[in-house]
Structure 1
Amino acid sequence: MTLMSALAGCARPTSSPIGDRAAVVDQLDRLSQRIGGTPRQRTAGEVLQYHAYQDPIRDCMAKANFTYEPPRFTDPYRGRSVIHMGIGTGQWLAPLGEERIGVTDTAEIVGPQEDAGPSANYRSLSQAEKDKFETALTGCIPRDTPEVNFPPAYYPLTEKFNQMLTAASKNEPVKAAGKQYPDCMAKGNFKVDKHDDLIALIQARIGSAQPPKPNHAADAKWSSAVALEREAARLDTVCRKPAYDAALEAVAPAASEFERTEAAELTLVAQQWDDMEKRAAAYPEFPR
């Protein structure tokens, strides 16, 4: 008997009155993205945050007669077409059946961490000028940069959305269905109590492994990291399914009620995200 077939015995199917689980998943994804933004909207927020921090430094350094070249903008959402359940998944409602769980696949989208080093302008300075530059830069670093990467309506809606999902996770049938998860995962050598623990465990086991550069083959450490995460995702799909199905059943009525009672705020947050996109479009870092 294979490990996966043995683990399948851990996960007993749950009966549910939900007519279409996929429709509930789509509804949660839709709500999550309306509140938390699409990948393009998230990029807009990151561009605005980048300039909210870097532009005051550039202007301050200019007053000190120095040319400040900020680090290159990196888009953490580059290459994504969707952010599934981008905010709050409760304990059990993270996407199920994915090939990976958001660790190595996300790292590959972002790319390997690279230190660009000092700017060309800085390298051209004499040591005395570099010392003056560093002194000026220390005084120009903002002490309190406002957070502008999410719209104002995002925060209260996120809190309410997360409360709804947390309540579903505490539903008695959901808790009962989830009790087998730790033992089921432990049989695959993943000692975790919930999905968040699994992500943290995979991140810890991957350690310093780095994804390959574009058009380069992965090294052995990264290939092992990807294989580890794929195995974890396969086991998680089997072990979490009973609690996942029960949580979908528990949250379905609340999700429909949320969409109805928060309609005005959902419209407002969508308008605010659209406005952020328009403002970000004024900067060259925002993709055209």
Structure 2
Amino acid sequence: MLAVIAILFVIIGVVAGVIGSIAGLGGGIFFVPALLYFANWYTPGSMNPQVAAATSLIVIAVTALSSSLSYLKQKKVDKQSALLFFIGSAPGAIVGVYLNTLLAVEGFSLLFGLFQLCMFVVLMVKDKIKPRSIKWEVQRHFVDNEGNEYVYGYSKWSVITIAFFVGITSSLFGVGGGILMVPAMMILFRFPPHIATATSMLVIFLSAVVGSITNIFHDNVHWLYAAMLAPGAWAGGKLGAIIASKMKGRTIVLFLRVLILGIAIQMIGEAIFG
């Protein structure tokens, strides 16, 4: 039976790594449900939301490191912006670990699903919002593979503030924070989709490391399941970065919308119908 779980987790690691890398999410939206379902199927009552989130965060660090190395070679990571996001997300990741302990098992799936549903709605209205002319404190230029030119930017304190809440989300839900960070980058600061996902993965890696260290001190990590997920997550992270480099920006945004909506419906359905 354990061998079956190991094979399933390798497959899940690859799939989550690929999808998470493409969308800049880290893959936690797959790792957490998989851990809660399969671990409790193998050993009933052995996995709770806190341990699932902590174990997921360890694997997310593996996925994010793998894809970040590939994105850095493609020169799609905005390293200065990533470090700024990390300054805000690091303390948020620590706060998220403590908030996680306050969540009841019954409310975890519902809260997780509703959160993602909100992100889907935000992404749907993104294209309907007319861009305003803003003089950013920091401004960047990017030209994608199709020749489309993007101008994006931000003020440093706004990035740090938003990143703090992204860090909380990362540890609270065990999803790496990208589910909030990528939409925030694209909607608030007009990051091009390719730059947003690539930069998000580097921030996710740094934040996941901080959150994981805190979780390790609290003995929240299930190391056996983390070891089962990690090899597939590493391979999937690299493969996802390669696939993303060949995708158009609009395709990435559409992919992100469908992904968020699907997982939101699944988690809310589990919370309501059991």
TM-score (norm 2): 0.28
Structure holding more helix per residue: 2
Structure holding more strand per residue: 2
State the structure with more CA Rg.
1
